[in-house]
């Protein structure tokens, strides 16, 4: 039993730290910076440790339990990645250091660029973007720059399927382009007739298309080659949203499927914990046509400064670079984790990641079939989408099923996305979960469907077992209160 959470622990005069005796002359404090109205808590070391440990226990994370958050790829990330990222030689680097003094770090960046280029089938990679959405913005700006360089100034339309992640239309708008939405067909593929019509209508204004494959229904678009051919025929380029790369690793390469530029989510596919707002990384890979437009700088071998046995690595600006998209060089700690992850697995291991991700998703799909409706029911890739609805339980919605899952000790799946599925529950088992865990999760989903019919209040009132009852997430996000206030106490 966790004791009740008491927030106000401060007692005047208590202190968690003891400062050593002063061994330098005392200096005056800059009084103008001191505030009297800042009542900092006064607590003992034990109070402090218990407070934060208790808070950490209220959190749900991948190290506690299963996290089927579709599209987010919340898989287990090996701890060795963390150890490598914390090596003092990496941690204490400074971005202004001379190239001669950071050859190890540059070698790591160069190697990761090379690995990602090979994995994706691209001519080059820049590791600058800070996240997936940032990679998307970068890619769209590169496509635009390519057209401008061709003297093609009238292009401003980007085609985006209606199954796309919200960041796709958002980044398109941010880059100043116009979004044209393309519907999906009955099998969950891009509707080819609609795509044809859009290409006809917007042909000379087409920058290109943003496609996620496998898409957010967890389905591999069966017409990807024809889509790419069609868009290219109308002068457009193909942007690939590579957030779902764990379904393809070592099996298919986006560059071979016709994509000109693609972002990877290192924090989804390549071993960095995410979901808590920590740094991410969204490197961008580019085909031969776009490689010169990559954001600068990238790392290259400096032949002139290399000797027989030793390569010298240096920062390089791609000749037509769209410029910097980030201060310095991107999130280096995330790169160390991705490098470690790839080296640990090797090529056969990366392929096994994809095989297990797809196998796990299809196994779980087979366990859910017949319990919840599956609108696009065919062999899935790394995730699938069902409807959070139960026959004979009209009041129960996807949200209630998700909240009830919390009582069973599971993190809910992604809710209400993709938008084209009614009451969507988007489930991604990931490659790292065992059959026992997937069976337990499927059993909970079946049990919840039973409860929905027999005692729907169990769902409508859920969660009952969590530290907090049902929250208004939308209000919590809009009226963000990050500081404890007296009147907030009744929340606990
Ligand atoms: C997560 C995700 C993104 C955005 O990536 P961020 O790193 O969160 O910005 C884009 N597309 C898809 C399909 C995703 O799952």
Q: What is the mean pLDDT of residues 186-212?
A: 97
Q: How far is the CA of 70 from the centre of ligand 1 (A)?
A: 11
Taking the CA of residue 135 as reference, the ligand 1 atom at the shortest distance is 9
Is there an atom of ligand 1 within 6 Å of 414 CB?
Answer: no
Q: Which residues pair with 212 in a beta bridge?
A: 241
Give the closest residue to 82 by CA, choosing from 273, 253, 287: 273
* Whole-number percent of the chain with pLDDT over 90: 85
Q: Is the CB of 283 under 6 A from ligand 1?
A: no
Which atom of ligand 1 is closest in space to residue 216's alpha carbon?
13
Cβ partners under 8 Å of residue 78, min gap 6: 271, 340, 341, 344
The pLDDT score that the predictor gives to residue 184 is 97
Residue range 420-431: mean pLDDT, rounded: 97
Q: How far is CA 35 from the centre of its chain?
A: 40
Condensed to tens digits (0 to 9), the pLDDT of residues 427-448 reads 999 999 999 999 999 999 999 9
* Mean pLDDT, rounded, of the chain: 94
Taking the alpha carbons at both ends of the chain, their separation in whole angstroms is 16
Burial of 461 from C-beta contacts in 10 A (0-12 / 13-18 / 19+): middle
Distance 462 CA to ligand 1 centre (A): 29
Alpha carbon separation from 140 to 45, 161, 172, 198, 469 (Å, rounded): 51, 15, 7, 19, 42
Ligand 1: which of 67, 72, 129, 132 to mutate, most ligand atoms within 8 Å of CB?
A: 132
* The pLDDT value given to residue 37: 75
Identify any residues that bridge with 284 across adjacent strands, giving them in sequence order.
126, 263
Can you give the pLDDT at residue 429? 97
Ligand 1, atom 15, residue with closest C-alpha: 71
Q: Is the distance from the beta carbon of residue 360 to the nearest atom of ligand 1 less than 6 Å?
A: no
Residue 33: pLDDT band with limits 50, 70, 90 = confident
Distance 4 CA to ligand 1 centre (A): 37
Q: 357 CA distance to ligand 1 centroid (A)?
A: 18
Domains defined for the chain, CATH in brackets: 79-343 (3.40.640.10), 351-476 (3.90.1150.10)
Q: What distance in Å separates the CA atoms of residue 364 and residue 351, rounded to the nearest whole number?
A: 20
């Amino acid at each position: 039993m966790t004791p009740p959470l008491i927030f106000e622990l401060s007692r005047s005069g208590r202190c968690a730290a003891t400062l050593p005796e002063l061994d330098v002359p005392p200096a005056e404090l800059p009084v103008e910076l001191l505030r009297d109205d800042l009542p900092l808590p006064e607590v003992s070391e034990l109070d402090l440790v218990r407070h934060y440990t208790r808070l950490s226990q209220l959190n749900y994370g991948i190290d506690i339990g299963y996290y089927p958050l579709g599209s987010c790829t919340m898989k287990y990330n090996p701890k060795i990645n963390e150890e490598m990222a914390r090596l003092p030689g990496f941690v204490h680097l400074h971005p202004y250091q001379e190239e001669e003094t950071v050859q190890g770090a540059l070698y790591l960046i160069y190697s990761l660029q090379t690995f990602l280029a090979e994995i994706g089938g691209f001519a080059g990679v820049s590791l600058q973007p800070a996240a997936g959405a940032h990679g998307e913005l970068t890619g769209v700006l590169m496509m635009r720059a390519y057209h401008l360089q061709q003297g093609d100034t009238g292009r401003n339309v980007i085609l985006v399927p209606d199954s796309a992640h919200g960041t796709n239309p958002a980044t398109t708008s941010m880059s100043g382009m116009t979004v044209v939405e393309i519907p999906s067909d009955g099998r969950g593929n891009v509707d080819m007739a609609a795509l044809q019509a859009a290409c006809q209508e917007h042909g000379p204004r087409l920058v290109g298309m943003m496609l996620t494959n496998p898409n957010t229904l967890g389905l591999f678009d069966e017409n990807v080659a024809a889509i790419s051919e069609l868009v290219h025929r109308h002068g457009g380029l193909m942007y690939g949203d590579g957030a779902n790369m764990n379904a393809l690793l070592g099996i298919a390469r986006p560059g071979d499927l016709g994509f000109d530029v693609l972002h990877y989510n290192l924090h989804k596919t390549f071993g960095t914990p995410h979901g808590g707002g920590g740094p991410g990384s969204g490197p961008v890979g580019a085909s031969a046509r776009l490689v010169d437009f990559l954001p600068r700088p990238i790392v290259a071998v400096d032949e002139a400064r290399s000797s027989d046995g030793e390569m010298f690595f240096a920062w390089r600006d791609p000749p037509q670079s769209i410029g910097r998209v980030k201060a310095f060089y991107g999130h280096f700690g995330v790169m160390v984790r991705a490098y470690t992850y790839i080296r640990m697995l090797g090529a056969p291991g990366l392929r096994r990641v994809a095989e297990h991700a797809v196998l796990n998703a299809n196994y779980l799909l087979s366990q859910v079939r017949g319990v919840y409706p599956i609108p696009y029911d065919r062999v899935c890739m790394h995730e699938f989408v069902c409807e959070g609805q139960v026959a004979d339980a009209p009041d129960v919605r996807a949200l209630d099923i998700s909240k009830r899952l919390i009582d069973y000790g599971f993190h809910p799946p992604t809710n209400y996305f993709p938008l084209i599925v009614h009451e969507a529950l988007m489930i991604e088992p990931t490659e790292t979960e065992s059959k026992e865990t997937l069976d337990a999760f499927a059993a909970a989903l079946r049990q919840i469907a039973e409860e929905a019919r027999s005692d729907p209040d169990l769902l409508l009132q859920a969660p009952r077992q969590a530290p907090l009852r049902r929250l208004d997430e939308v209000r919590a996000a809009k009226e963000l209160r990050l500081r404890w206030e007296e009147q907030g106490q009744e929340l606990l």
